[in-house]
Structure 1
Amino acid sequence: MNTNASMINHQLENSHTDFLSWFGIIRLGLIQTCIGAIVVMTTSTLNRIMVVELALPAMLPGFLVALHYLVQLIRPRMGFSSDQGKSKTPWIIGGMGVLALGGIGASIGTVLLASNLILGLAVSTLSFILIGIGVSTSGTSLLALLAKSVNDQKRAAAATLVWIMMIFGFAFTSVMIGKYLDPFTPEKIIIIAVTISIISLVITNVSLYKLESSLTPSVKIEKPTAAMNFKVVIREVWSDPDIRHFTKFIFLSMLAFSSQDLILEPFAGMVFHYTVGETTSMSGLQHTGVLVGMVLVAITGSSRLRKYVGSLNHMIVYGCMASALAMLGLAVGGIVGQTWPLKLNVFILGLANGTFSIAAIGSMMRLAVHDGLGKEGVRIGLWGGAQAIAFGLGGLIGAIGSDVARQLISDTGYSYAVVFLIESFLFVISAKLALDIKK
């Protein structure tokens, strides 16, 4: 970091008297909860309805979910646009509006699929494009606002709080939808989508009311008076080796993280002979581990313990290496079989995943504003785009990889072991990339 950038950053950290309070962070977390609620409704509930209730091919919702990830390649552009204005609030509200419209449209499209496949597919495709645009606009601007409005001591804890609130949005919405949908009728899908969307829009507007206007720093960074070119800015951002390393890290680590999702439960069923209920409980155990890992990072990253565990980058490395060891353990489990302590292994995997992922979010917030030059939106957009593509590819590659391995290797346990070893290697590379980040 050059001397001028260091001085600017130091001034911002020490002179900014109006950083977000915990209540302000919770207000932003509520918006993240709303984003999670609409997304889980469209990518999970509607997915299941298409496949089970409507008896449509699984590849149809798979295509729609992949499409909404693909659209998120626009995240850097959305972040750049929000950086050019004086406020990110309109971008968050506008993005939430597009997301809500996409959520309602997706429910209508799902209902239409039962009577008119072509029309239903057209409406659903357009709606999932809107969902991708809405998530890109609101999510990127929200994280950019959080990054520049939270001081360094609070970043790990703030990231944990906001992400836990998003996970709560996933869980609470799924439970409520599940209760209301029984017995299933098509009309209920639209009612649920409209209700969730309206509530999300109201909460977003109330949460943002006068929030950003209260965060005027005592040291202001002047924005260029001339119009900035997106291609020039993205080229400048990419020329920073730390930004480049972090982008590669996000992609590889999220690829390894997401590629286990679609194969872990089938692995437990086929190799360890777990029932459906047992695999579901095992998945819950993994998510518990993720939450524990997140909380541990929040505690150690925002307290005196930080001097013993090191920076957020160190915690990323610890989490990635622990994830690699846990994946290696699953590979051994595939070879050893039912004597392997699978549940403990899966809990440790969740713990490690939670540790590196939330430390990465905290580090992302720090890197986004490290020079105070008003490019936090485009940077977070770049990383968000990398994560979206990794998530879209991860599940597909993991599933295809396990299928190919089982075709080439007759022993099911050994075939899964090969896939887990590859994922373990990806985590090791991710740790190396995190080590290369100097800022």
Structure 2
Amino acid sequence: MKPLGWFGIVRLGLVQSAIGAIVMLATSLLNRVMVVEYALPAALPAGLVAWHYAVQLSRPAWGHGSDRGRRRTPWIIMGMGILALGALLAVDALSLLAGRSAWGFALAVLAFAMIGGGVGAAGTSLLALLATRVAPERRAAAASITWIMMIAGIVLSAGIAGALIDPFSLSRLAIVAGGVAGVALLVAILAVWGVEGTAPAPPVPVRDAAPVPAFRDALRDMWADGDARRFTAFVFLSMLAYSMQDLILEPFAGLVFAFTPGQSTQLSGLQHAGVLAGMILVGIGGSAFGTRGAGSLRRWIVGGCLGSAVALGGLALAARAGPGWPLAANIVLLGFANGVFAVAAIGAMMGLAGEDRGREGIRMGVWGAAQAIAFGLGGLIGAVGVDVGRALIGSTTETFTIVFGAEALLFLAAASVALCGGVRATGQRFVARASA
């Protein structure tokens, strides 16, 4: 049976776009509205976002559920429905939160739990479907396409919502959020509908056709695989390093380089442009290697981690050098290297998950949970590290030097794990089986 073609991959990429569009409402738009328009403590939306990451620890359970049913589409649609409803409930909680009502806080916690659960169910099942249906030589390109489309969904929905929400009112926010969530849900349903049925998975060995074991047994079996265990460590370390600079990069530009809010926002745009360039390079380069692309992903991963470490080392030096440093070029390099390693890691993740037919979901779930923990901790550690460092050391430049240096060391540790076997066998056993 033929695996997914490029059109099918792009269709599934639309689901990622829809996920990104709805998550933007919760983690970006509502964050700003809570703090600025409703003068709520900044810790409130930060805590809710951290909570939605914590809920994503349920990813292995969602993935295992789709493994047992041997169908991913219903889980993707269900997850998107939960995600959309959670975003709308988060908007509904605003008026209660503005009145400092405990019911508003309870509703917001429920809403962000649904957002985290929806992302976990839809995102994990989508990645498992890609791991099952995409040919090994196309996995790097598939990872690039889906992640680029997710970013495109975030950018597009942010632009549309930003244009329609002014002049701000709660009723206008509800209408805009409902429109974005509704359209995203419809796009996701249309995108995934029929894809799984029209592109059957290749025949699998008889031993892989056995019933999927219970969740605890499946988790124990996966953890017994040394490659899967080392890859989990790699995902955690690399994503922890990747996310630590999320909340401190713009403050760094303002505190050390005296950038205005507009200038620091433009700097963030340059970083995302670099990320996209890195993703595109891996997508094109990974496909260019043909069936050997799965094995070549380790080189992209290690190169991206080393490049990220170099760029962060540059930022550590920039903290000491000050305004004379080529900050924009440094940020572009960081984004580019981040994009290279991140999308190569997703491609490798798909390859390693695809080696265990019928259990792709739980593997993707475990790695998704490791990523969610890293994202939740990374931003918090970076921000708290700057606050604590400035309080204890009394020097902003010294603090940023230490924090960026620590991030660089984490990327070097992630590269070391990859080189020592964290992604050594990714895709290789699969190719060996296919050619046997």
**TM-score category (smaller protein):** over 0.9
- Unaligned 5+ segments in structure 2 are 426-436
1:241-294 per-residue CA deviation (whole Å, 9 max, x = no partner) reads: 111111111111111111101111111111111111111111111111100001
1:355 offset after TM fit, Å? 0.4
Change (3 A) 1:309 1:383: closer
Q: Judge conservation of contact 2:286–2:293 (CA < 8 Å) in 1.
A: no
- Unaligned 5+ segments in structure 1 are 1-16
1:67 match? 51
2:149 match? 165
2:353 match? 368
Is residue 2:276 matched to residue 1:260? no
2:288 match? 303
2:11 match? 27
1:418 offset after TM fit, Å? 0.6
Q: Judge conservation of contact 2:320–2:397 (CA < 8 Å) in 1.
A: yes
Change (3 A) 1:308 1:34: closer
**Given residue 396 of structure 2, which amino acid in structure 1 is its aligned partner?**
T
Change (3 A) 1:19 1:226: closer
Q: Judge conservation of contact 1:18–1:214 (CA < 8 Å) in 2.
A: no
Change (3 A) 1:208 1:257: same
1:438 match? 424
Is residue 2:240 matched to residue 1:277? no
* Aligned partner of residue 188 in structure 1, secondary structure: helix
- Specify which of 178, 190, 196 is matched with residue 194 of structure 1: 178
* Aligned partner of residue 227 in structure 2, secondary structure: helix
Change (3 A) 1:385 1:366: same
* Aligned partner of residue 87 in structure 1, secondary structure: coil
Is residue 2:310 matched to residue 1:325? yes
- Specify which of 132, 149, 155 is matched with residue 116 of structure 2: 132
Q: CA–CA distance in 2 between the matches of 1:307 and 1:241? A: 22
Q: CA–CA distance in 1 between the matches of 2:341 and 2:258? A: 30
Change (3 A) 1:362 1:259: same
**Given residue 89 of structure 2, which amino acid in structure 1 is its aligned partner?**
G
Q: CA–CA distance in 2 between the matches of 1:381 and 1:157? A: 21
* Aligned partner of residue 198 in structure 1, secondary structure: helix
Q: CA–CA distance in 2 between the matches of 1:336 and 1:309? A: 41
1:209 offset after TM fit, Å? 2.1
2:135 match? 151
Is residue 2:407 matched to residue 1:423? yes
1:397 match? 381
**Given residue 288 of structure 2, which amino acid in structure 1 is its aligned partner?**
S
Q: Judge conservation of contact 1:300–1:309 (CA < 8 Å) in 2.
A: no
1:232 offset after TM fit, Å? 1.2
Change (3 A) 1:66 1:277: same
Q: CA–CA distance in 2 between the matches of 1:308 and 1:23? A: 20
Tell me the TM-score normalized by structure 1.
0.93
Change (3 A) 1:227 1:19: closer
1:248 match? 233
4+ residue stretches of structure 1 with deviation over 6 A? 305-310
Is residue 2:212 matched to residue 1:233? no
1:309 offset after TM fit, Å? 12
- Specify which of 307, 311, 336 is matched with residue 351 of structure 1: 336
Q: CA–CA distance in 2 between the matches of 1:306 and 1:269? A: 47
**Could you say what the CA RMSD is over the residues aligned between the two structures, in angstroms?**
1.7
1:313-332 per-residue CA deviation (whole Å, 9 max, x = no partner) reads: 11100000110011111111
1:217 offset after TM fit, Å? 3.4
Q: Judge conservation of contact 2:56–2:369 (CA < 8 Å) in 1.
A: yes
Q: CA–CA distance in 1 between the matches of 2:171 and 2:11? A: 32
Q: Judge conservation of contact 2:140–2:293 (CA < 8 Å) in 1.
A: no
Percent sequence identity is 50
Q: Judge conservation of contact 1:153–1:302 (CA < 8 Å) in 2.
A: yes
- Specify which of 94, 106, 128 is matched with residue 78 of structure 2: 94
Change (3 A) 1:429 1:109: same
1:182 match? 166
- Specify which of 314, 323, 329 is matched with residue 338 of structure 1: 323
2:20 match? 36
Q: Judge conservation of contact 1:309–1:315 (CA < 8 Å) in 2.
A: no
Is residue 2:285 matched to residue 1:292? no
1:9 match? none
Moved more, 70-79 or 106-115: 106-115
**Given residue 350 of structure 2, which amino acid in structure 1 is its aligned partner?**
M
1:14-71 per-residue CA deviation (whole Å, 9 max, x = no partner) reads: xxx3211111111101111111111010111011100000000001111111110000
1:143 offset after TM fit, Å? 0.6
Q: Judge conservation of contact 2:248–2:383 (CA < 8 Å) in 1.
A: yes
**Given residue 188 of structure 2, which amino acid in structure 1 is its aligned partner?**
T
1:409 offset after TM fit, Å? 2.2
* Aligned partner of residue 359 in structure 1, secondary structure: helix
1:388 match? 372
1:216 match? 200
**Given residue 369 of structure 2, which amino acid in structure 1 is its aligned partner?**
G
1:218 offset after TM fit, Å? 4.7
